[in-house]
């Protein structure tokens, strides 16, 4: 059989691939629990994106299955073993600070701007076209492929829990997720969110009405807002805020409405797996408020945030820091903040990406000793550390294809981010971002390099074929 030029095959399909990708990016597939119901478990947006993806697959002749709008798949090939490919159609909230409409994709200077362009609709479509090439060329295969797309990867992975419980099929034997970077991600840290619980008492000459910040636990909060009453005047607060923002890398505003002061601090969003890449607006807001005369649970909430959480991305001040020789250091993102004077329970959600050698219970035990913390609870979903050895044929095959296409030496990588690659015991993440890429995932002005998506499609085509031929 003549060797296939996968790059040339991608080139023939560039326009079609981009058109299909645009049709997915135009769908706002943020999770919206306020509109969730039996037919829309995470809101209407994720369902629309799932239906569009399956519509594309049906157009191309695949047999598809929609598992109650939680997730869906199509299948290809035949054989005793099955390769699973796991991607997702949901996206994190767009947030603010965009120069373009996040749901009107635009290519500017070779970069495709849209929410989901790099996480994960762009890589998903690159991988889809990789398999589409194999199908359209009629290349002989000896294994099955199941291409699965979920709708809740950015939140609690409830899509995959439901999918595996209701799809009526055994798990694939091995697989990968096109939701990270090349050369490969064969190890992922554990992932758990722990909630610090506080009371709501107040006191002092400053009275905290509310403190809100953050959109998702796996996003660095770009901004946060506090509402309070105080025995002071607007001019004095403005002077204090002006001095504060001159010393720190944030912006801020203060105004007075109906006898209450409203202060907002704005930093920079980033992926929760890389909290050091962002500027946590909530911790800086707490830092600003900490100098004022709050008391009670309100003071404890502010003080802990301003001293123990502020600029602590590795859990050192919290007393939970841990480093493993292979997996590296624990990281912590304070993602969602909620304090209300009328609430019985106020919380700070801390998302931990932890290496082997520690665990959620150990972290919880230490957090419970922090001053002002009433209790510590855990999120329902926890992912323990995951690793597939370099010697595994899956890893060695994927690295060999990457090396052939790029001329670069492949090596293993372990990350704090969580991908669907860890759904399988023999599962990894593979692409679609290349070394040296600008990471804009979970940030304003998210983009994917268009040529990189085409390069990735060729790599996916050959990699899939090598795994199933």
Active site residues: 90, 153
Longest dimension (CA), the chain: 83
How many other C-beta atoms can be found within 10 angstroms of the C-beta atom of residue 140?
10
Paired residues of 348 in beta bridges: 196, 337
Pick from 46, 85, 87: which is nearest to 68 by CA?
A: 46
Residues 125 and 462 sit within 8 Å (Cβ to Cβ): no
CB 42 within 8 A of CB 140: no
- Distance between first and last Cα of the chain: 12
Beta pairing, strands 328-329 & 190-198: unpaired
Buried b (16+ CB within 10 A) or exposed e, 24-40: bbbbbbbbeeeeeeeeb
Length of the chain: 469
């Amino acid at each position: 059989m003549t060797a296939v030029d996968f790059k040339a095959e991608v080139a023939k399909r560039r326009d079609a691939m981009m058109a299909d990708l645009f049709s997915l990016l135009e769908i706002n597939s943020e999770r919206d629990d306020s509109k969730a119901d039996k037919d829309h478990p995470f809101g209407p947006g994720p369902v629309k994106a799932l239906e569009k993806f399956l519509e594309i697959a049906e157009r191309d002749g695949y047999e598809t299955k929609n598992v109650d709008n939680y997730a869906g798949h199509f299948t290809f090939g035949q054989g005793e073993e099955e390769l699973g490919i796991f991607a997702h159609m949901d996206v994190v909230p767009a947030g603010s600070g965009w120069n373009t409409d996040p749901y009107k994709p635009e290519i500017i200077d070779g970069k495709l701007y849209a929410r989901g362009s790099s996480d994960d609709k762009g890589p998903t479509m690159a991988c889809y076209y990789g398999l589409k090439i194999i199908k359209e060329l009629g290349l002989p295969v000896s294994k099955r492929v199941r291409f699965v797309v979920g709708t809740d990867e950015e939140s609690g992975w409830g899509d995959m829990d439901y999918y595996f419980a209701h799809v009526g099929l055994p798990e694939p034997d091995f697989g990968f997720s096109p939701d990270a970077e090349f050369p490969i991600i064969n190890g992922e840290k554990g992932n758990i969110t722990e909630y610090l619980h506080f009371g709501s008492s107040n006191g002092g000459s400053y009275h905290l009405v509310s403190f809100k910040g953050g959109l998702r636990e796996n996003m660095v909060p770009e901004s946060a807002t506090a509402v309070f009453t105080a025995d002071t005047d607007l001019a004095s607060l403005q002077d204090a805020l002006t001095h504060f923002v001159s010393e720190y890398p944030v912006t801020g505003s203060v105004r007075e409405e109906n006898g209450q002061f409203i202060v907002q601090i704005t930093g920079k969003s980033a992926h929760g797996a890389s909290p050091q890449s962002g500027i946590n607006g909530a911790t800086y807001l707490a830092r600003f408020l900490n100098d004022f005369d709050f008391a009670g649970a309100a003071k404890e909430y502010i003080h802990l945030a301003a001293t123990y959480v502020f600029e602590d991305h590795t859990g050192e001040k919290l007393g939970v820091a841990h480093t493993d020789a292979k997996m590296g250091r624990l990281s912590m993102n304070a993602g969602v903040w909620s304090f209300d004077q009328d609430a019985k329970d106020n919380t700070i959600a801390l998302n931990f990406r932890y290496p082997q050698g520690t665990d959620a219970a150990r972290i919880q035990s230490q957090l419970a000793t922090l001053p002002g913390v009433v209790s510590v609870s855990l999120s329902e979903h926890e992912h323990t550390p995951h690793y597939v050895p370099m010697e595994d044929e899956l890893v060695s095959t994927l690295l060999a294809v990457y090396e052939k296409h790029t001329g670069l030496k492949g090596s293993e990588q372990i990350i704090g981010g969580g991908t669907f690659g860890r759904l399988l015991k023999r599962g990894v993440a593979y692409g679609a971002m290349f070394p040296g890429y600008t990471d804009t995932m979970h940030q304003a002005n998210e983009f994917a390099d268009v040529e990189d998506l085409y390069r990735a499609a060729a790599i996916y085509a050959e990699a899939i074929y090598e795994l199933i031929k």
